[in-house]
Structure 1
Amino acid sequence: MLLPSEGMLSATVVLVMYGDYQCQESADVYRLLKVIGRQLSISLGEDYLCFIFRHFPQIQIHFQALHAAEAAAVQGQFWQIHDILFIHQQQLADGYLVEYANDLGLDISQFLQDMCKHVHLERINQDIESGTRSGVTATPALFINGIRYSDRWNLKELIAAIVTASH
């Protein structure tokens, strides 16, 4: 399975975010990165930035995060369901996940089979292992061209860090 990414992997700057669908900070940072991505793509070109999302569900505190991550991996609609899951963080029970899949026109029978069989669990575990090897212990965690971002989560500082990474 391909990494969930927006943009070319050969972009000038590659952002890797480890996130959890029940983590409010992950949702906030994701929304901020979407705004930054739009701004940088307009000013510096569409090949400037690549965004990769990696699952890092904190299941010890967010009990529905793993199922949400599995739901996001299905049927080639990753970014569409990804956005829905972050918008509806408080509604990630199985019934809601099926509703979101249905709204996207997914094959519900296949969706349910994949969820029950945990078809995407290995991929999610690979993301978790990758994050753990990179020192991730909580979400959100962001890497800019392979370097962990540890400054404030605001528009000005993130854009500065991204532009600095490109030089």
Structure 2
Amino acid sequence: MSYDRDYSPLSVLPSTQDHINGVLNAAIVLVLYGDYQSSQSADVYRLLKVVQQQLSVSFGANYACFIFRHFLQRQIHPQAQHAAEAAEAAAVQGQFWQMHDILFTHSQELGNGYLVEYANRLGLDIYQFLQDLSKQTHADRINQDIEGGLNSGVTTAPALFINGIRYRDRWNMEQLMAVITAVNH
């Protein structure tokens, strides 16, 4: 297993400033740096949702915490910036995780028309949503996530940290569960 405690520590510790699914004092804290236009980020996100559900069933609802941070690869994913801004605009309206799920479900349909459609589907205030997008209101937040990722040694998305240490093994349920079990014992 590739889980080296001396290599690639998370430079920005999880905090209430993050998008959190769970509680920060959970036994296992998963931090994913991802890009909404990356099919691999979408696959890893879906895998982590299953892992989190399994951990919840096995150990209780507050055993694992999942945090998402943006790590856009603008050079190869031109729609990633607007998608990240859409997620942040939804967050302001209390719907980050709902938009997050939609964006990863439709990672190849991220044009402006689609983003507005997703916002409509969630019942967001469309005027506010469009204002946030047009003014790039949340660009600084996204850039802070990217900077934190770079400071943690992230060069590409997806990148996962388990309890602050970079995970570098295969993206499958067996490997992830083995590492999580080892981390907590």
What's the TM-score, normalizing by structure 1? 0.98
Describe the superposition over 1:115-151 as per-residue Cα deviations: whole angstroms up to 9, x where unpaired. 0111111110110000000000001000000110001
Q: Which runs of 5+ in 1 are unaligned?
A: none
Task: Give the AA of the match of 2:111.
Answer: A
Give the structure 1 partner of residue 58 of structure 2: 43
- Of 14, 31, 34 in structure 1, the residue corresponding to residue 49 of structure 2 is 34
**What is the RMSD of the two structures over their aligned residues, measured on CA atoms?**
0.9
- Of 131, 134, 140 in structure 1, the residue corresponding to residue 149 of structure 2 is 131
1: CA distance, partners of 2:159 / 2:149 = 9
Taking the TM superposition and a 5 Å limit, the aligned residue runs for 1:1-167 are 2-74=17-89, 75-167=93-185
1: CA distance, partners of 2:17 / 2:94 = 10
Greater length-normalized contact order (CA 8 Å, ≥ 6 residues apart): 2
Instruction: State the shift of 1:2 in Å.
Output: 3.1
SS for the counterpart of 1:73 is: helix
Task: Give the AA of the match of 2:103.
Answer: L
Instruction: State the shift of 1:50 in Å.
Output: 0.4
1: CA distance, partners of 2:138 / 2:182 = 35
Instruction: State the shift of 1:163 in Å.
Output: 1.6
- The structure 1 segments of at least 4 consecutive aligned residues displaced by more than 3 Å after TM superposition are none
Identity %: 66
In the alignment of these two chains, the number of paired residues is 167
Describe the superposition over 1:4-56 as per-residue Cα deviations: whole angstroms up to 9, x where unpaired. 11000000010000000011110000000000100100110111100000000
Q: Which runs of 5+ in 2 are unaligned?
A: 1-15
Describe the superposition over 1:89-132 as per-residue Cα deviations: whole angstroms up to 9, x where unpaired. 11101111000000000000000000011111111011000000
1: CA distance, partners of 2:112 / 2:18 = 24
SS for the counterpart of 2:153 is: coil
